[in-house]
Amino acid sequence: MPDHTIQEPGNEPTHEQDRRPQPEDKLVPVSEAIRYRKRAQNAEQQLEQLNEQLHDLSNRLKEADETIRSLERRQRVDALLMESEAIDLEAARLLTEQAIATMDEPDIDLAVRDLRRQKPYLFRHRHGSDSPAMAPGLTEDVNPTRQAAEQAAMSGNRRDLLRYLRLRRNR
């Protein structure tokens, strides 16, 4: 006679309840299952920690890239301003940076040229290009003390410095 059991609603047997262990199924001892579970939990925790570290490092990398780009741009601005003979480098740099920030496509060369045209008092006056055709040539200062001072400043050599100091003392 078949075994008939009355089942209450909500207590329906599932596939796992109906299934009885077969001889080919390998049963794992409880202690080993606990160890596997702990190892899995530890691995998940490590994964979370590594994901957090990866996120932090990627943010730091983005910040470093932005810093490098801004420093390279600042260096380029400074080089162009020095080449253009800016008198007040800080003020010229700030105005150039402000002009670059308002541009759709930042162009440092254009910003420096515009600044030189709009605010020429920030730059040294170039005599050669702006002078009239028949203007008398500039006489070069032949002061040996001044030449020695410039040479000492340019070279940084001790001999040049001592030469300048001797000339200054004997003046």
Residue 26: per-residue pLDDT = 74
Residue 69: per-residue pLDDT = 93
Residue 116: per-residue pLDDT = 92
Residue 128: per-residue pLDDT = 56
Residue 141: per-residue pLDDT = 55
pLDDT digits (tens, 9 = 90+) for 61-95: 999 999 999 999 999 999 999 999 998 889 999 99
Residue 57: per-residue pLDDT = 97
pTM, two decimals, is 0.47
Residue 60: per-residue pLDDT = 97
- Return per-residue pLDDT of the chain as tens, 171 residues: 555 555 555 555 555 555 555 556 677 788 888 999 999 999 999 999 999 999 999 999 999 999 999 999 999 999 999 999 998 889 999 999 999 999 888 899 999 999 999 999 989 886 655 555 555 555 555 788 888 888 888 888 889 888 889 888 887
- The full 3-state SS of the chain, as one line of letters, equals CCCCCCCCCCCCCCHHHHCCCCCCCCCCCHHHHHHHHHHHHHHHHHHHHHHHHHHHHHHHHHHHHHHHHHHHHHHHHHHHHHHCCECCHHHHHHHHHHHHHHCCCCCHHHHHHHHHHHCHHHECCCHHHHCCCCCCCCCCCCCHHHHHHHHHHHHCCHHHHHHHHHHHHCC
Residue 14: per-residue pLDDT = 54
